[in-house]
Amino acid sequence: MSFEFKNFLPLSQNAMLTILAKQNVPAETKGEIIRAVREEKKRLRSVAARRTQFRRLWGELVEPLDYEVRLVERMNRYRGSVERDAALRGYLMVLGKVRQRMLKHEYLGEQTPSDVAKDKRYPNNGVHWSDWVPMDVKEAVLDAFAAIPRERKKVKVPFTRKIPRVLHNKLKTRLIERTKKEYDHEFRTNAVDYSDERAALLKRMKQALEWIEALEVGEAMPTTWHGFYK
């Protein structure tokens, strides 16, 4: 439904009052219009913030997948054995289908990656794109790669649960900062209002921080510390 006073949305309150005064709008009606515009602006900010969060969450999930696609595409430019070329083409097809599913969810803007992963019961809470691939599909691709004649020692391993170094460092730093901030808040609260439940929570958070710090470069991770306990 279209907002009745959408022409006022870009304006400040003073600008709206000036226009309403020129139109001789009654004081009571002015107040109703101002409140309606204020509430609509608040709603739109909330929608925009949610969209931004969605784009970030889906983008961080898709980015490692795009990295894998580019890597496999480069490998596919060079001809090898029949088995190798078929395995790479099949792998690229699987990657493309997973990417399409993710981008569809992002476009719809109804669920976060973790929401979808929970509904679909993906392993590891769906924190890495490879968790979104059905096991039978994975096995078929892995079998195809296993059939490649070993012409060299280094062989591509499909569905490796790794993410690019730069993204890993960014996500790890953010996860540490957020967890520490939450830990400090709960610690201060517990200092003045102790509870066994909060003490246990602090213990779990401290353990999660140790797990986060111990993550190896490129290792996938949950978006919150709670993910380590799911």
Residue type, 131: D
For residue 206, tell me if it sits in a domain.
yes
For residue 11, tell me if it sits in a domain.
yes
For residue 17, tell me if it sits in a domain.
yes
Query: 210 is in which domain, residue-wise?
Result: 162-230
Greater confidence, 16 or 223? 223
Q: What is the pLDDT of residues 7-51, one digit of tens each?
A: 878 888 888 888 888 888 788 887 888 888 888 888 888 878 888
Q: How confident is the model at residue 3 (pLDDT cuts 50, 70, 90)?
A: low
For residue 86, tell me if it sits in a domain.
no
Cβ(167)–Cβ(64) under 8 Å?
yes
* % residues pLDDT > 70 (the chain): 98
Q: What CA–CA distances, in Å, run from 203 to 33, 43, 198, 228?
A: 51, 38, 9, 13
For residue 187, tell me if it sits in a domain.
yes
Count of structural domains within the chain: 2
Rounded Cα gap, residues 150 and 156, in angstroms: 11
Q: What is the pLDDT of residues 57-116, one digit of tens each?
A: 999 999 999 999 999 999 999 888 899 999 999 999 999 999 999 999 998 888 999 999
pLDDT at 110: 86
Across the chain, mean pLDDT equals 90
Task: Name the phi and psi angles at 149, rounded to 5.
Answer: -60, 135
Q: Hey, what are 195's tokens?
A: 């509870």
pLDDT at 47: 79
Cβ(122)–Cβ(128) under 8 Å?
no
Q: How confident is the model at residue 209 (pLDDT cuts 50, 70, 90)?
A: very high
For residue 177, tell me if it sits in a domain.
yes
pLDDT at 1: 44
For residue 172, tell me if it sits in a domain.
yes
For residue 56, tell me if it sits in a domain.
no
Helix (H, G, I), strand (E, B) or coil at 219: strand
